[in-house]
Amino acid sequence: MFVAGVLLTGCGLFGPPRPIFTASGTIVGPGGKGLPGAVVSDGQVSTLTDEAGRFALAVFRRALGAAKPGFAIARWEALGDQPSVLALAADDATERIGLDARGSDDALAGLRATLGADGALVAAYPATALARLDVLVMITPGALPPGERGAIAAWVRAGGRLVLCGEWGGYPNQDLAALNELAGGAGIAFTGGTVRSVAGEALTITTGPPAPASLGKAAGGQPAVLYAASDLVLSGAARTVLTSTSRAYAVLAAGGVPIVAAVGPAGLGKVFALGDSSLWRDADSEGSGLPNIQHGGNAGLARALVGW
């Protein structure tokens, strides 16, 4: 009986399943250069490659997949803990971006133009089905039917990229539960607190460490300009995208580390979460004569997120 109990426990019947080994290796492009920010997944757990394209993941299955924007999804079988090098084939298909503005005032003409500037097709969601999209950008989503939330989560796990824009805790049009259900699978949570600059004004923040350097480079290296936002907390393989010092930001209600943007893997897809949506609106929050999206690196950040 004791031996049987040990065997059954090892199979996960009397306890949580355990990883079978740690798969590791490098994801590269056709020229052999490592690809940063690629997702590697066994269908249950996922991780992002580092700046050199390297990964290490404690897996539950030998069958793995890798995905990166601009490349075809690849699948292979890991051979124990033997490191592997997997080359992804280039995919030149036109990027298809869905924009969901149901939770906003739809002042997003500048964002639409920004996302389509590199030849991407930008369509309205949910008028355009998820199956026809590579990226979905949701601006402060309101209450979503459970069926829609589940469909979006499944689409992300199959390789979709979801960009979620929240807002400060008192913003009336967002559904915090829906945001966290969509972001939770990627290790990201919106706290519901309010983050603002100490002086109550807009603040420029950068994609500096520990954010991925390749993402900051793709954004053009310019600081983003944020307004009142929600702070985020991260777990698992999620990574910081935008942060600032405690002296620059005051965090009300929730407290904690002032992370205002993050990325995390879910299945073969990614979730990007931003605590502010005002940075991409056509509104002129500062009274400077320029729409918010034209301030600092805001437009560059939008382009970088959908393509990283």
Mean pLDDT of 60-66: 96
225-to-163, 182, 199, 236, 298 alpha-carbon distances in Å: 18, 25, 14, 27, 6
Give the C-alpha separation, 260 to 142, whole Å: 19
- Tell me which H or E stretch contains 113: helix 109-115
Contact (CB, 8 A) for 115 and 136: no
In the structure, what pLDDT confidence band is assigned to residue 274 with cuts at 50, 70 and 90?
A: very high
State the distance between the two ends of the chain, measured CA to CA, in whole angstroms: 53
| Of the candidates 205, 140, 137, the residue with the CA atom closest to the CA atom of residue 167 | 140
Mean pLDDT of 2-15: 40
Domain chopping of the chain, boundaries: 2-87, 96-307
| Of the candidates 20, 87, 22, 25, the residue with the CA atom closest to the CA atom of residue 55 | 25
Stronger pLDDT, 193 or 89, i.e. the higher one:
89
Asked if residue 76 has pLDDT above 60, the reply is: yes
pLDDT for res 248: 66
Of the chain, the percentage scoring pLDDT greater than 90 comes to: 65
CATH architecture of the domain with range 2-87: Sandwich (2.60)
**Which amino acid is present at 142?**
G
Give the C-alpha separation, 158 to 152, whole Å: 10
150-to-181, 267, 293 alpha-carbon distances in Å: 9, 14, 31
In the structure, what pLDDT confidence band is assigned to residue 235 with cuts at 50, 70 and 90?
A: very high
Give the C-alpha separation, 269 to 28, whole Å: 18
Of the chain, the percentage scoring pLDDT greater than 70 comes to: 89
Average pLDDT, the chain: 88
Kindly report whether the peptide bond that precedes residue 30 is cis, defined as omega within 30 degrees of 0.
no
- List all residues 6 or more positions away from 267 whose beta carbon is below 8 Å from its beta carbon: 39, 41, 43, 46, 156, 157, 158, 159, 185
Encoded tokens for 109:
């003409």
Give the C-alpha separation, 55 to 43, whole Å: 16
**Which amino acid is present at 165?**
C
Reduce the DSSP state of residue 7 to 3 states and report it.
helix
pLDDT for res 269: 98
Contact (CB, 8 A) for 77 and 249: no
Reduce the DSSP state of residue 156 to 3 states and report it.
helix
Asked if residue 98 has pLDDT above 80, the reply is: yes
The reply to whether CATH 3.40.50.880 applies to domain 96-307 is yes
Asked if residue 12 has pLDDT above 90, the reply is: no
Mean pLDDT of 300-304: 95
Give per-residue pLDDT as tens, 202-222. Answer: 777 777 777 899 998 999 888
Encoded tokens for 34:
């490592």
Give per-residue pLDDT as tens, 102-153. Answer: 877 779 999 999 999 989 999 999 999 999 999 999 999 888 888 999 999 9
Its pTM stands at 0.91
pLDDT for res 17: 85
Asked if residue 5 has pLDDT above 60, the reply is: no
Give per-residue pLDDT as tens, 16-37. Answer: 689 999 999 999 999 999 999 9
